[in-house]
């Protein structure tokens, strides 16, 4: 028997380290000889901390939301007594969780299964077999051909064919060439790259080394955002281990091919995810994008041919080489092959990371895998593609999730972030939120982006504050065109998308804000009032005590009232009003 605990950032955030302590001390107290293995995130983040009990016959029992108390119970009943603790099981080998149903794991194949800090574990899972195959049996051209057969497209956003970029770098003239891994993952709401790096760092390294062989590069750099300290630490460990085993360094496996790499930490600028800005940042400059061409494959890092791919793109490579490009190409749709990882978050019941064949209907992602909306509320929209993406409304839930279909709706696949929204999310506020983001993150190089995003934000802010004017929607649409056309990189070009899609699908909400001074989702503070239903209020005084600005008054056991002039609309009263009364409402 073996225990396994998920210690990705999400597992640790949910209290995984305390559970690990409890398990370990309990093992010691009981004098057991039992290993507790660390692993990355399996994707069921909504159930963290997760503890697996792995029986000697290979059966896996997964416990969710484990607390110290539950950990002790698992030790007592299951480990010592042999009886699984049914009420805390979220999945078992013979009873898999619905969340995992329909998933196909390629990029995430090792996440949450093995110890990411052990190269031996990785090798046991078939790791570095693909590299061995490339170096001993395949020419670089054959490797590129295999990737071409797979149909793999870049997972960083634009969906450009990976083989094409590798080949362009290979064909480019240069005495030195580079492979860069884009681990800047700036899209707020996406975390697949973090999970892949934390859960399977060797998988990404192996993909990069293979790319180096194919493209004729000798050096690799991983540009990882500083907000991911655990990912950086695990990458450092993995690089060190790979060097020790001769998977990195000179003359790898006696093949005459030499390759080494290092990590550079990002410093907190979203635009540095754009490849030319990323290169500027790697070179120690302000991370500002430049016009393409020349593409990085011709002139990139230090002016040398450079191939940049996203983390998830690299993570797919070892699988493709091992299982064959055709096996990858057999999944997905005609134009979008393979699987894609999506990060499900927001108002979804089972949030986490999922990997599914490209082309499955949006409805299946949200209702089958994600379990539907939290609190069984009404689905309103899903935001895909982050700040350059858009909101897809309920009417399009049967759209297949692939690059072309999502683009046709005005959103983008992007890196695969899906933030789900319910009827309590205000779509004008969402547009305002994203413009606030792009306006802050604009590097300032293009006038239209720098000033245009600011003007659009101002208009959205005044609409949310109830100061919107007739004609504001048209003004926004006009500005959107200018910003899109006048911006050099994807940040400015995509910035209008959150506005355009919300106007397109939720125009009535904009109009309600502007003309009726109402926020239908009851979110915009200037347009709502908190009130107490005097028939329901029993005068329990809880809200009056908790109100941070003392805006609520009333005698004990008498209905209370909120002073509109004092109320800051913080929502504390509605949160603390006992559900059996539910006397506070928003008007």
Ligand X SMILES: Cc1cc2nc3c(=O)[nH]c(=O)nc-3n(C[C@H](O)[C@H](O)[C@H](O)COP(=O)(O)O)c2cc1C
**Residues 289 to 348 in contact with ligand X, rule: CB under 6 A:** 308-310, 313
Count of other CB atoms within 10 angstroms of residue 454:
14
Closest distance of CB 9 from ligand FES, Å:
9
333-338: which pairs have CB atoms within 8 A and are 24 or more residues apart? Answer: 333/358, 333/359, 333/400, 333/402, 335/402, 335/403, 335/404, 336/151, 336/153, 336/159, 336/402, 336/403, 336/404, 337/150, 337/151, 337/152, 337/153, 338/106, 338/150, 338/151, 338/152
Cβ of 567: how many Cβ atoms within 10 Å? 18
The answer to whether 350 and 99 are in contact (CB under 8 A) is yes
- Secondary structure (DSSP) of 179-241: EEEEE---STT--HHHHHHHH-HHHHHHHHHHHHHHHT--EEEEEE-TT-HHHHHHHHHHHHH
Dihedral angle sign, alpha carbons of residues 75, 77, 82, 84:
negative
Is the CB of residue 476 less than 8 Å from the CB of residue 458?
Answer: no
Contact pick of 265, 467, 538, 541 for other proteins (by CB under 8 A)? 265
Q: Pick from ligand X, other proteins, ligand FES, none: which does 421 bind, CB < 5 to 8 A by kind?
A: other proteins
3-class SS letters over 4-38: EEECCHHHHHCCHHHHHHHHHHHHHHCCCCCCEEE
188 near ligand FES, rule: CB under 6 A: yes
Instruction: Give the footprint of ligand X on residues 213-272 (CB under 6 A).
Output: 271
Interaction of residue 273 with ligand X, rule CB under 6 A: yes
Q: Please report whether residue 541 would count as binding other proteins according to CB under 8 A.
A: no
d(CA 409, CA 26): 54
- For ligand X, the binding residues in 411-430 under the rule CB under 6 A are 415
> Rounded to the nearest whole angstrom, what is the least distance from the CB of residue 520 to ligand FES in the complex?
24
Q: Which is nearer to other proteins, 283 or 555 (CB)?
A: 283
Q: CA torsion sign, 374 to 375 to 376 to 378?
A: negative
Per-residue x/- marks for other proteins, 427-466, CB under 8 A?
A: ---x--xx--------x-----------------------
Considering only residues 472-491, where is the footprint of ligand X by CB under 6 A?
Answer: 489-491
Among 131, 147, 205, 343, binds other proteins (CB under 8 A): 343
Residue 308 partner contact from ligand X, ligand FES, other proteins, none using kind-dependent CB cut-offs of 5 to 8 Å: ligand X
User: Between residues 227 and 236, which has the closer beta carbon with respect to ligand FES?
Assistant: 227
Query: Minimum Å distance from CB 195 to ligand FES?
Result: 12
- Tell which positions 288-307 bind other proteins, by CB under 8 A: 302
> C-beta of 249: minimal distance to other proteins in Å?
20
Q: Provide the sign of the torsion angle of the four alpha carbons 274, 198, 297, 410, taken in this order.
A: negative
Q: Distance of CA 498 to CAs 450, 495, 501, Å?
A: 17, 7, 6
Q: Of ligand X, ligand FES, other proteins, none, which one sits near residue 490, judging by CB under 5 to 8 A according to partner kind?
A: ligand X
Contact of 425 with 373, CB cutoff 8 Å: no
* The binder of ligand FES chosen from 189, 296, 386, 390 (CB under 6 A): 189
> By CB under 6 A, is residue 466 in contact with ligand FES?
no
State which of residues 105, 347, 484, 513 lies at the interface with other proteins (CB under 8 A). 347
Q: Does 203 bind ligand X (CB under 6 A)?
A: no
Using rule CB under 6 A, residue 199 touches ligand FES: no
CB 149 within 8 A of CB 225: no
Give the one residue of 40, 156, 300, 452 binding ligand X; rule: CB under 6 A.
Answer: 156
d(CA 259, CA 278): 21
Residue with Cβ nearer ligand X (116 or 490): 490
Is 433 or 585 the residue whose CB approaches ligand FES more closely? 433
- Which residues sit opposite 337 in a β-bridge? 332
Q: How far is the CB of 129 from ligand FES (least distance, A)?
A: 34
**Residue 150 touches ligand X, criterion: CB under 6 A:** no
Give me the 22-41 binding string for ligand X, x by CB under 6 A, dash otherwise.
--------------------
Distance CA 105, CA 328 (A): 11
- Cβ of residue 345: shortest distance to ligand FES, in angstroms? 7
554-565: b (≥16 Cβ within 10 Å) or e? beeeeebebeee
With binding defined as CB under 6 A, does residue 273 bind ligand FES? no
Name residue 161's beta-bridge partners.
153
Beta carbon nearer to ligand FES, 47 or 297: 47
Q: How far apart are CA 492 and CA 470, in angstroms?
A: 26
Residues in touch with ligand X (CB under 6 A): 154-158, 160, 182, 184-186, 271, 273-275, 308-310, 313, 415, 489-491
Query: Residue numbers of the site for ligand FES (CB under 6 A)?
Result: 188-189
């Amino acid at each position: 028997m073996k225990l396994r605990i998920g210690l990705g950032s999400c597992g640790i955030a949910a209290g995984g380290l305390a559970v690990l302590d409890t398990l370990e001390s309990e093992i010691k107290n009981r004098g057991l000889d039992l290993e507790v293995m660390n692993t990355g995130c399996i994707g069921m983040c909504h159930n963290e901390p997760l503890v697996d009990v792995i029986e000697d016959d290979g059966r896996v029992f997964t416990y969710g939301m484990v607390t110290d108390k539950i950990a002790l119970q698992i030790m007592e009943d299951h480990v010592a007594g042999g009886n699984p603790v049914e009420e805390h099981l979220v999945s078992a080998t013979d009873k898999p969780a619905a969340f995992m149903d329909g998933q196909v794991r390629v990029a995430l194949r090792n996440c949450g299964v093995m110890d990411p800090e052990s190269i031996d574990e990785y090798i046991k899972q078939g790791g570095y077999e693909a590299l061995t195959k490339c170096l001993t049996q395949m020419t670089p051209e054959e490797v590129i051909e295999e990737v071409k057969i797979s149909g793999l497209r870049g997972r960083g956003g634009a969906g450009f064919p990976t083989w094409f970029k590798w080949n362009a770098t290979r064909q480019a003239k240069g005495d030195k060439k580079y492979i860069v891994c884009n681990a800047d993952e700036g899209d707020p709401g996406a975390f697949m790259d973090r999970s892949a790096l934390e859960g399977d760092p060797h998988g990404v390294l192996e993909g990069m080394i293979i790319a180096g062989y194919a493209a004729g590069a000798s050096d690799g750099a991983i540009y990882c955002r500083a907000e991911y300290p655990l990912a950086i630490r695990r990458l450092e460990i993995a690089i060190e281990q790979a060097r020790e085993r001769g998977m990195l360094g000179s003359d790898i496996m006696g093949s005459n091919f030499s390759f080494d790499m290092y990590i550079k930490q990002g410093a907190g600028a979203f635009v540095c995810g754009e490849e030319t800005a990323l290169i500027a940042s790697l070179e120690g400059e302000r991370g500002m994008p430049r016009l393409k061409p020349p593409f990085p494959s011709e002139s990139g890092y230090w002016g040398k041919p450079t191939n940049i791919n996203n983390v998830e793109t690299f993570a797919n490579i070892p699988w493709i080489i091992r299982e064959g490009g055709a096996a990858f190409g057999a999944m997905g749709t005609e134009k979008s092959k393979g699987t894609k990882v999506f990060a499900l978050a927001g108002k979804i019941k089972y949030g986490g990371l999922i990997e599914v064949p490209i082309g499955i209907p949006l409805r299946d992602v949200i209702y089958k895998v994600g379990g539907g909306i939290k609190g069984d509320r009404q689905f309103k929209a899903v935001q895909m593609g982050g700040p350059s993406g858009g909101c897809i409304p309920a009417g399009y839930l049967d759209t297949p999730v692939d690059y072309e279909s999502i683009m046709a709706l005005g959103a983008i696949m992007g890196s695969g972030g899906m933030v789900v929204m319910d009827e309590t999310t205000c779509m004008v506020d969402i547009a305002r939120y994203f413009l606030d983001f792009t306006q802050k993150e604009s590097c300032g190089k293009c006038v239209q982006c720098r000033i245009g995003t600011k003007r659009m934000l101002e208009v959205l802010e005044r609409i949310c504050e109830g100061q919107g004017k007739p004609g504001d929607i048209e003004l926004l649409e006009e500005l959107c065109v200018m910003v899109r056309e006048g911006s050099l990189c994807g940040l400015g070009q995509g910035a209008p998308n959150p506005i355009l899609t919300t106007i397109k699908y939720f125009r009535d909400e904009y109009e309600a804000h502007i003309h009726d001074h109402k926020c239908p989702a009851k979110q915009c503070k200037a347009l709502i009032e908190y009130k107490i239903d005097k028939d329901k209020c029993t005068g329990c005084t809880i809200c009056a005590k908790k109100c941070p600005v003392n805006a609520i008054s009333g005698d004990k056991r008498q209905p209370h009232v909120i002073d509109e002039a004092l109320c800051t609309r913080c929502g504390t009263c509605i949160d603390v009003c006992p559900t059996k009364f539910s006397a506070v409402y928003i008007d």
